[in-house]
Structure 1
Amino acid sequence: MSTTNNLNKDDQLICKYYGAGGAPKFDKFNKIHISSNTRHTYEGSSQLAWMDWVDGRFLRKLFLFFVLSPVSRYLPPRDSLLRPAQLVPLYPAAPVPPSTATAQHSTAPGGTPFNPAIPIPTTLPHLAANNCDFESHPSNGRSTLPPGLSASKHRPREQIVKRRLSRSESFEMPFLTEDSWINDQASTHDISLLEGCAIAVDASYYLCQLLETSPAHEPLLSALGGLTGVEAHINQNLDLWAKNEIVPFFVFDGQPVTGQDDITLDRGLKANKKTDEAWNLYSQGAAEEAVSTFGTSPGAFRIQNLYPLLQNVLKSRDLHFLVAPYTACAQLAYFEMTDSDQCSGVMGSQELLLYPVKDSVLRIFDWEAKTVTAISKKKVMRSLTPTASEPRFIDSFLMAGTSFLSPFPALLESSMYSDYNISTAANLLRTAENSVATACASFNDILQNKDADWLDKYRKARMVVHHFVYIAESGEIRVNDYEHLTSDNHEYLGLQLPAELFHYLNTGLIGPRLLGNITHGQVLIQPTLDGVASDEYKKLITDRIVPIKEQALSLLIPRLHRGIQHKNIKVRVWFDPKYSYTINHRSINPPPSQMVASWDVKDNDVRAFFPEDFASPVSLEVLSLVNTEFVDKTFPKERLIKGIDSTDMVTSVAIWRFLHLRGYADDKHKLTKWGNALATTLLTLQDVKENNPEVTGLSEAALVAFELIRNGLLTGKHTEGHPGLPRKGSYEEKATLVLISECASLLKLRHQVYGYTGPLNKSLLSFWSLASAVREADRDLVEAIVASMFLYGQSKRERDDQLEISRRLPFQQEPDIGLGIAVRTFFDDDEAGGDKEGRLHRLEEFPKTFVPYAESLTEDFRVARDFVDALAKGVEALGTEQMKAEDKEAWTRAQAYFAARPF
């Protein structure tokens, strides 16, 4: 095999660090046998790296929709997805040739033919074949700067912030941290060149760009914890794609790569400093400056929170999407480097240039000007280095900083570089004999002071880029340049998970968070939007939700490689760099797998007791357990659980198992005290649902509320002096309004498709952070439950409703705090007593000044009132063992508060 003799200095160092090139040596290859009826079996070495063999037939089917038309929904395969077949290498020993798939003859990389029973799309022309060589087309000089932002005047008591668009002002893009020099190399071309083409789009980049340009731009995103009208804006934008006859094929980020979580943490902490500055400006009455500052806080709001929304929009429009194993950039690079027939070009962030794309990366569509902006990698390399060396370009790019590697520490020295970009890094590298290691040695004092491990991080990042992981058109999970993958690749790629889990990630059944925890052996808690680490937040993160995370991991890890089962997973937190906790997923008693295995319900069992229209997620599962005859039907009839196949049953059984694990149901499947309280609330909400059919998510909000109540986070208790608290009344009166407005924050404010205009409230944003942490932990547990159902073969794997199952499961949507702000602002000025008509009139006039784009504020207030009443009735059913008398009294006061203020 290859040696290090002919390599340059940096490559020699990499080989020295990770081992000389060449395929790693094993006594045996591991094997994964996937069957509908049996668990995974692993044979051979205990190696956990990316060297396993898997069922090739299964893997080819994972990528089923790649061989379908990009303008039609994918169909389920006609033959069995999981039928045992001949084992083939996961990664071939020989280089993979480009796909030669056409409409008439479709051949997978490596020569494996696609299933002829599956329809093959009409071949879409590649950019070069469609006269789309962007480098050869001069720019027409037309460009439009994104709109600027400003705020309206505010009244003295409560600052009203507002977005006002101006075409003449420019602004920074807060979500995207990109290199200015590279952007200067972009060229503009006629959009008609892409007519009839399919474009593979980085979903994160698309959402970032959408939210940073009008009309969808929302500078107050990090102050509200959500968006108003984003779904409508996405649909409007996709209408423009369709109008111009361009088909987007979205690729979502999967698991983070090594180093990415740490960079996200660092950017989040820096963003918190900007938002702290914005909150200070807001408290001083400088609303306009506060809005601008909120709008320039990169990393505060995690764009991945919008993935479920975008995926549901794409499904409703019959547009394809794919969740990559790791980064979307790596998957797009695979499409580009193989001239894939699935797309004619790729659109994404600058980091795409790190990968072996052949030339241009699409950047911005200007639908009004009918132009598209692109960056040519060849042009950038020629401009950056005299020899257009790709290795030196990659090194310079990495030194300038990426989403998974911090910038070279010397570039951050303001005394040496007032500003820097990739060109600065290239010049620095040139003076260091084109060697990153030499540059590190030259600036060793700075590295030791700022980041002593930066060279180690660089080497890992370099290997991550070179050995990127992607899904091939054959459906196989592959590693680029597998021949030279080093034996310690788990150090930079992480541990390898079964292909079946990648399939569930790929189809949207589960998210990447849990898988990333296992792959990288850590749970890194990212900064909150408010940047406040209160005592109750610290206790929640380090104590209350840890058992939930342990249960989730305990359900998945026993199905994985035996070596992974013995790997520790550490918990790290953003507010304390020294904190570390080892997840205990191996010795939970009783084992979560044993508890969930006691549930086996089929469609006919449910329909024998409940009508088909009684199918609301959460409500059905909780209220059905009140029926003792039905409870008897929920236990397994046979030793092996099978046949939980329908969408409804997969969803319901997952929720029943969640209720059991969280203590709402006992081992006899009867409701506990907490379960009875939740059932009382849900039963009370039935009338609210019937009277407000357009209001969704009430049952899920009730479940979230009870999770918060159980953790002592929804009590109304507060510390005087904190910003955003009520101004009037006694402590008890203020506490009651705090409790009511926090409950309202769990509900959605119906809002027109405009940017938010109204007051802000940091206290409610802190509560949003608590609710978000609980919701995130519970979502991980629900996803682990549903994934385990498929891993154990309890549910049919060959299906096409994975996204629908995911959508029905609770804890996916996070409403913003708009309704809570409105409730607190209105009642803080309201006095008890008075006539009902007068208060109703004030409420109807309230939106004109405070929330002018609210659609049905009076109805939303009534829903919030009824929601609080339902929770109070549920809490009343609890005993003193479950809740202290003083905490129960807070809910009684909340009911009395509304009774004294009818509307």
Structure 2
Amino acid sequence: MGGKTEGESEVVSRRNEKGSYVFLWLPLGKQTSVTPLSPSSVRKPPAPATFAPLLALHLPALFLWGLNARQLAALLVHQLQNHAKYLFAVSHFVSPCPIANRQLLVRPLDEWVATRNSQSVQSLPLSALKGAVIGIDASHYIHQHLVNQSTREALLGALGGFPFALRTNIEKELQAFKSLGVGLVFVFNGLDFGRKDQRSNSTTPASPRSFEQAWDLYDQQQADQVVDAFSNAGMVYFFPPGSPSISPISPVSGTSFVPAIPFWIGQSPTSLESPAFSIFPTGPEAADQPQTSGTPPPETLYRFLQRILLQNGIPFMVAPYSAAAQLAYLGRGTNPVVDAIYGPSELFLFDVEKLVIRIETDPAQFTWLTKQTLQEELGRLSNEQFVEFLLLLGSPFLRSCPLFETPGFPGKTPNVRDALPMYNSAGRNALTLCAQYEEDRRMQEFQYTDLYKRAYMNVKHHVYMDVDGRVALMEPETASSDMHEIIGQRLPEELYFYLSKGILGPDIPNFLTSGEVRISLPLGAEDTEVYRQLVGDTLTPIRIQSISLLTNSLHRFYQVKEITVRPWFDENSDRKTNLKSIPSVKETIQGWKVKNESLPESIQKLQAPRGTLKFAVQSLNDPDFVATSSAKQENPVLSSQDEILSNVLWRFLQLRGYVDAKHNLTVWGKALSHALADVTPSDNLEEAIFIAIEMLRFDLLNTQNWFSSVSGGPMRGSDEDKTFNMLVSRVACIGKLQHKNIGYSGPLSRQLLCYRSLISEVRSALRNLVEVVLASLLLSGEADRDRNDWSELGLKLPFIDDNDCGLGIAVRTYLDDLPLQANPTSPEARAEVKSKGKEWFQHSESFTGNLDLAFKLWDSVYKGTQHAGKEIKDAKLWDDANKWLSERR
């Protein structure tokens, strides 16, 4: 077995009664009946001497190609040392974008500690950590920025997209750490673990209701209450005052006022600090807070944060599954990778002795908890009892015990004061407690005893990646033979490597291992027929194509899986696709292996930067290049970064139907080419234009009045004015408002927020596909894998930035005010309305500049429609709208 010893973990397979292989997590030496997969069908990648990452398309390389553990470790450590920023091997295990839907729950332990003024809490100046490295739970860090009073942007949930001030706040903090000589390493959550219905409490109805109430106040022009209502909508109770939080270097105010169309009313400057506004409630009422936040899930901001970290030289990695488990591993041993850990209280589940719960940079200090003191204050709980009790209180691994909840308030967060006596009465044994109440209806409803057992095993034997890049179980010598049922089906080592590096996010692997595409309605989005159609049906072919492409490089077990789409409105859906019935996706795009030196001179002179969408599309206008672009059998592997990115985008364009099998532009490809022709990199519109063309193809960029039941549509002028205004503002909604680094202040539109949710879903599906194209190219050995720019490759792929609806609102507001003028199309009328922009959008970088950007986006999209031939169903509508707009811009 290549020198393996008992206790180490390997991938094995067991043929079930139907003849399919099942991947298992098993400790060696315990199961004698399992057999490693045969390597005979695996194409051998480049020689190990030139290939630093883990060499495993199906199994760890030491089983496939004769490398022993020491040789494999030496290769990987050598690569990491070449570009390590700090003196630890994991420093550049960087960056995927997990979008696992883990809710940040109420932490009863955190609330208990804060309200007791516990002696377990200690503080020191941040300078005491000079020369040390802090491991940071990325989700926890992001969440603190989203909910902290000094950094929270109150109207983010009503606008969508990314917070305007978040980047500035984060970079100030990173600079503060750097000036203090404190090193950082961020760890992100990875793949989903366990079944989705086992991990946490479900969303309470209070969250959508609170958003509805906020919009009602806005429609009623109750501006003095609107900001508080949106800021608190769906707010999660996370930490009370004085307990774990992270503060920016200098507070950045949120929203200064919210105009209620058609009135423009200011917000009270003290509203964010008034008793009515309480992000961190204390006392018994704290437990009644809903368990989802009105802010975006931290996972949606992973790529955003990773890009900032990369640009600032901060190392980060993505855990195979839980970031908490990975951080616990990094802090262990005689030579730990990190000296301190900052994160949520579930880190104590993994035997972390000390946990940083608060970091402030002004004043520069940090606060931490010790597990030992907590155990003493909880009645001298043993280590085992402490873990049991924390699990019962609730975490991402397990919903809180129903016995701890108040029957009249389902979903109410338990508190330690009430839960501890019940646990003590059961002899301080979780299974005894479950057995005593096994007839309880609530316990039976959730099958809680089984959930607890699974969660306990999930924590005890969770998966981590070691400093040599190997993925293994904790305490493998006592692990059961069915850990794949508890954690999830194991993937090849090389795929975990790409996940950790940011080449591939977790969405598609999650769909593949679970066999399900579960779709939930995001908080704040409207449950409309068009939204259901988009996420439940229209985007399914792209998802299936992405899944199938990934499986083309994996074991046959995955290639014959059945995938079921389960949207929130149809949990018993029969939307099933058997991957076995889908022809190889990889074979259709393998013709793209274009080396830089083979590019004709005409292509090399293109103005568009290589590795961009515009370059990929514009290059295919050259018939000489198209004729020679198909790969030859002897083509060498791709090596440079722009070489790889260009080939990824050509393959992506072919999969999306912009390029045919002979590498010629299709009708839609020509439309896209014309649409991109006049934009420059400084415009930053390439991705918006691409998404707009996709929206056209999906018949989503039109004037259908899908959201008439909510407010925020055009109100003034003739029916024609309103129709054209709707179309132009929807195009603008695909762009991004240019705004100062401060919370949004301006009018809102629920209709455009609904439309933004459609755009966001399309963007997310495209991002997943282009990631899989890159991963597939690497898995197939078509690119040089002895490299050190993994994170850059992943973060240079398009479709990271989520859009807000601010630019659409700016255009809608401008066009909606023109009919109030005596002559709406006169230069004087246009100038007068534009002059009001500073009042409407106080923190916009330039109102006229935003309009110019939106109209340039319109021009590009309109140009594309003119060259789409019969593919455009509403050509006359676009022509008429363009003529109408030309008189008003």
What interval of TM-score do these two structures reach, taking the shorter chain for normalisation? 0.7 to 0.9
Q: Which amino acid aligns with 1:342?
A: V
Match of 1:800 in 2: 788
Match of 1:181 in 2: 112
Deviation at 1:824, TM superposition (A): 1.1
Deviation at 1:816, TM superposition (A): 1.4
Deviation at 1:452, TM superposition (A): 3.0
In structure 2, distance between residues paired with 1:805 and 1:475: 19
Q: Which amino acid aligns with 2:489?
A: L
Q: How does 1:634-645 map to 2 (within 5 A)?
A: 634-638=629-633, 642-645=636-639
In structure 2, distance between residues paired with 1:713 and 1:23: 57
3-state SS of the aligned residue for 1:250? strand
Match of 1:205 in 2: 140
3-state SS of the aligned residue for 1:829? helix
Matching residue within 315, 322, 345 for 2:317: 322
Q: How does 1:29-48 map to 2 (within 5 A)?
A: 29-30=35-36, 38=44
Q: How does 1:155-304 map to 2 (within 5 A)?
A: 177-179=106-108, 180-184=111-115, 185=118, 186-213=121-148, 215-226=150-161, 227-259=163-195, 266-267=202-203, 271-296=207-232, 297=234, 298-300=292-294, 301-304=296-299
Match of 2:100 in 1: none
Q: Confirm or deny that 1:389 pairs with 2:378.
A: no
Deviation at 1:31, TM superposition (A): 5.6
Deviation at 1:736, TM superposition (A): 1.7
Q: Is the 8 A contact 1:744 1:819 kept in 2?
A: yes
Going from structure 1 to structure 2, the CA distance change for 1:108 and 1:30 (only over 3 Å counts) comes to closer
Match of 2:391 in 1: 398
Deviation at 1:834, TM superposition (A): 4.1
Q: Confirm or deny that 1:365 pairs with 2:365.
A: no
Deviation at 1:348, TM superposition (A): 0.7
Going from structure 1 to structure 2, the CA distance change for 1:515 and 1:120 (only over 3 Å counts) comes to closer
Deviation at 1:735, TM superposition (A): 2.5
Q: CA deviation digits over 1:811-838, x for unaligned, max 9?
A: 2211211111111122111128546542
Q: Confirm or deny that 1:541 pairs with 2:535.
A: yes
In structure 1, distance between residues paired with 2:79 and 2:618: 46
3-state SS of the aligned residue for 1:362? strand
Going from structure 1 to structure 2, the CA distance change for 1:351 and 1:109 (only over 3 Å counts) comes to farther
Q: How does 1:512-661 map to 2 (within 5 A)?
A: 512-589=506-583, 591-610=584-603, 611=605, 613-615=607-609, 617-638=612-633, 642-661=636-655
Deviation at 1:733, TM superposition (A): 2.7
Deviates more, 1:257-266 or 1:197-206: 257-266
Going from structure 1 to structure 2, the CA distance change for 1:450 and 1:625 (only over 3 Å counts) comes to farther
Q: Which amino acid aligns with 1:618?
A: L
Going from structure 1 to structure 2, the CA distance change for 1:754 and 1:450 (only over 3 Å counts) comes to farther
Q: CA deviation digits over 1:674-733, x for unaligned, max 9?
A: 1111112111x33xx3xxx6431x111111111111111111211434321111234443
Going from structure 1 to structure 2, the CA distance change for 1:756 and 1:35 (only over 3 Å counts) comes to farther
Q: Which amino acid aligns with 1:396?
A: F
Q: Confirm or deny that 1:27 pairs with 2:21.
A: no
Q: Which amino acid aligns with 2:640?
A: S
Q: Which amino acid aligns with 1:440?
A: C
Q: CA deviation digits over 1:370-408, x for unaligned, max 9?
A: 32111211111222243x222222222122211232221
Matching residue within 692, 707, 710 for 2:694: 707
Deviation at 1:628, TM superposition (A): 1.3
3-state SS of the aligned residue for 1:505? helix
Q: Confirm or deny that 1:774 pairs with 2:747.
A: no
Q: Is the 8 A contact 1:123 1:341 kept in 2?
A: no
Match of 2:716 in 1: 728
Note the residue ranges of structure 2 that are not aligned, 5 or more in a row: 1-5, 8-23, 89-102, 235-291
3-state SS of the aligned residue for 1:196? coil
Match of 1:883 in 2: 872
Match of 2:346 in 1: 351
Deviation at 1:481, TM superposition (A): 0.5
In structure 2, distance between residues paired with 1:537 and 1:384: 48
Q: Confirm or deny that 1:334 pairs with 2:323.
A: no
Matching residue within 449, 456, 466 for 1:462: 456
Q: Which amino acid aligns with 1:471?
A: M
Q: CA deviation digits over 1:512-551, x for unaligned, max 9?
A: 2112222333222132243322111111122111111111
Q: Which amino acid aligns with 2:227?
A: V
Matching residue within 739, 744, 764 for 2:732: 744
Q: Is the 8 A contact 2:50 2:786 kept in 1?
A: no
In structure 2, distance between residues paired with 1:705 and 1:842: 30
In structure 1, distance between residues paired with 2:51 and 2:587: 32
Going from structure 1 to structure 2, the CA distance change for 1:82 and 1:295 (only over 3 Å counts) comes to farther
Deviation at 1:21, TM superposition (A): 11
In structure 1, distance between residues paired with 2:321 and 2:38: 21
Q: How does 1:408-427 map to 2 (within 5 A)?
A: 408-415=401-408, 420-427=414-421
Deviation at 1:29, TM superposition (A): 4.5
Going from structure 1 to structure 2, the CA distance change for 1:271 and 1:257 (only over 3 Å counts) comes to farther
Deviation at 1:489, TM superposition (A): 0.9
Q: Which amino acid aligns with 1:354?
A: L
In structure 1, distance between residues paired with 2:80 and 2:790: 24
Going from structure 1 to structure 2, the CA distance change for 1:82 and 1:609 (only over 3 Å counts) comes to farther
Q: Confirm or deny that 1:760 pairs with 2:748.
A: yes
Q: Is the 8 A contact 2:133 2:185 kept in 1?
A: yes
Match of 1:162 in 2: none
Q: Is the 8 A contact 2:521 2:568 kept in 1?
A: yes
In structure 2, distance between residues paired with 1:84 and 1:565: 20
Q: Is the 8 A contact 1:24 1:486 kept in 2?
A: no
In structure 1, distance between residues paired with 2:598 and 2:87: 48
Deviation at 1:321, TM superposition (A): 0.9
Q: Confirm or deny that 1:820 pairs with 2:814.
A: no
Q: Which amino acid aligns with 2:529?
A: D
Aligned positions, number: 778
Q: Which amino acid aligns with 2:694?
A: E
Q: How does 1:434-513 map to 2 (within 5 A)?
A: 434-444=428-438, 446-448=440-442, 451-513=445-507
Q: Which amino acid aligns with 2:419?
A: A
Q: Confirm or deny that 1:786 pairs with 2:771.
A: no
Deviation at 1:213, TM superposition (A): 2.8
3-state SS of the aligned residue for 2:152? coil
Q: Is the 8 A contact 1:570 1:583 kept in 2?
A: yes
Q: Is the 8 A contact 1:182 1:422 kept in 2?
A: no
Deviation at 1:490, TM superposition (A): 0.9
**What RMSD in Å do the two structures reach over aligned CA positions?**
3.5
Deviation at 1:40, TM superposition (A): 11
Going from structure 1 to structure 2, the CA distance change for 1:416 and 1:709 (only over 3 Å counts) comes to closer
Q: Which amino acid aligns with 2:713?
A: L
Q: Is the 8 A contact 2:606 2:615 kept in 1?
A: no
Q: Which amino acid aligns with 2:836?
A: F
Deviation at 1:474, TM superposition (A): 2.2
Match of 1:869 in 2: 859
Q: Which amino acid aligns with 1:856?
A: S
Q: Give TM-score scaled by structure 1 length.
A: 0.80
In structure 2, distance between residues paired with 1:269 and 1:511: 30
Q: Which amino acid aligns with 2:837?
A: P
Deviation at 1:238, TM superposition (A): 0.9
Match of 2:880 in 1: 893
Deviation at 1:466, TM superposition (A): 0.7
Deviation at 1:555, TM superposition (A): 0.9
Q: Is the 8 A contact 1:460 1:491 kept in 2?
A: no
Q: Which amino acid aligns with 2:701?
A: L
Q: Is the 8 A contact 2:191 2:321 kept in 1?
A: yes
Q: Which amino acid aligns with 2:516?
A: Q
Q: Is the 8 A contact 2:734 2:803 kept in 1?
A: yes
Q: Give TM-score scaled by structure 2 length.
A: 0.81
Match of 1:161 in 2: none
3-state SS of the aligned residue for 1:537? helix
In structure 2, distance between residues paired with 1:116 and 1:218: 38
